[in-house]
Amino acid sequence: MRGAWLENRQLVFRDDLPLPVVREGEALVRVLVAGICNTDIELTRGYYPYAGVPGHEFLGELEGKRVVGEINASCGACEACTHGRPTHCERRTVLGIKDRDGAFAEYLALPVENLHVVPDNVENEVAVFTEPLAAALEIQEQVRIERETRVLVVGNGKLGRLIAASLALTGCRLTVIGRQHGEIAPRSFDVVVECSGNADGFTLARNAVRPRGTIVMKSTYAGDLTFNASALVVDEVTLLGSRCGPFAPALQLLAEGKIDPRPMIDARYPLNDVNAAFAHAEQPGVLKVLLDIRG
């Protein structure tokens, strides 16, 4: 089949890839549209030693139905799986990220239980945002956000905008700042969501959060972060890592039109121009770049 292949940080288009292996309980999904995420870009920079087809944001087709899919395939038997944390299965594979070929190809395989049928009124190019929107909604699974909660989102890239849009629906007191940030009152936010993915953003988040407040860490980082642990202890701040989230409420928000991600689409490329698509997606200020898998 046709697809993108990543190995030793080299991303190439190939037309000779084997179809993915379909294991028991899994389905072979024909991919229609896929989105490039910062994690994909980080993979090409060696953030994680992945070799295979990248890509984990997709809209596909299975038996005439349009589907999106949760990206973690878990074993169902380990302690994490049997204690309600399947996305943390120690033996998991992750679509396009770990031990499972991903969405930048004509076909992918996922457990049937991971798939969600897309409501008819959700366009393909809207449905492809289900996975990152679900990741944004994970924040509200972990931290209580109320109308009076003062929330700062640090980072106004792809994920930051989805996070801001989903938080805005709560009616909370929301502030969003980008890379070129202005003045922020120190120690004044109840919750700070760090999705800039850089150390400056983390420093800004640390300064902005109030004592006993929470910093939600939503980005992967190229290197280690350094922080003043004593100040964290004295201020009793909570640092909270946050990753994948729930698909059902994400699909519902898209179906109800409460979040419209289409203004975030900056470019579309055919699959065989995957290198140009990545080069475009890496440009500063560029938001979502989509791959037309049939193209």
**Tokens 């203004």 label which residue?**
263
Residues contacting residue 290 through CB under 8 Å, at least 6 positions apart: 33, 34, 35, 36, 125, 128, 265, 267, 268, 269
- Let me know: does 257 contact 235? Beta carbons within 8 Å: no
Residue 9 or 187: the one with the smaller Cβ distance to its own copies is 187
Residue 82 binds its own copies (CB under 8 A)? no
Stretch that binds its own copies, among 16-24, 78-86, 166-174, 265-273 (CB under 8 A): 78-86
> Which of 203, 207, 238, 275 touches its own copies by CB under 8 A?
238
Residue 80 binds its own copies (CB under 8 A)? yes
Q: What is the DSSP annotation of 54-78?
A: ---EEEEEETTEEEEE-SEE--SSS
Q: Is the dihedral of CA 105, 106, 112, 113 positive or negative?
A: positive
Residue 226 binds its own copies (CB under 8 A)? yes
Residue 144 or 258: the one with the smaller Cβ distance to its own copies is 144
Report the nearest approach of its own copies to the CB of residue 22 (Å): 26
CB atoms within 10 A of CB 77: 10
Residue 105 or 139: the one with the smaller Cβ distance to its own copies is 139
Torsion of CA 133, 196, 87, 40, to 10 degrees: 90
* 256 φ/ψ angles, rounded to the nearest 5 degrees: -80, -5
Stretch 182-211: interaction string toward its own copies, x if CB under 8 A: -----x--------------x-------xx
Residue 45 binds its own copies (CB under 8 A)? no
**DSSP β-ladder status, 57-62 and 115-117:** unpaired
Stretch that binds its own copies, among 123-131, 167-175, 218-226, 275-283 (CB under 8 A): 218-226
> Which of 212, 258, 262, 294 touches its own copies by CB under 8 A?
212
Residue 233 binds its own copies (CB under 8 A)? yes
Residue 173 binds its own copies (CB under 8 A)? no
Spatial separation of the C-alpha atoms in residues 234 and 174, rounded to whole Å: 26
Binding residues (CB under 8 A) for its own copies: these are: 47, 79-80, 85, 88, 90, 142, 187, 202, 210-212, 217-221, 224-230, 232-243
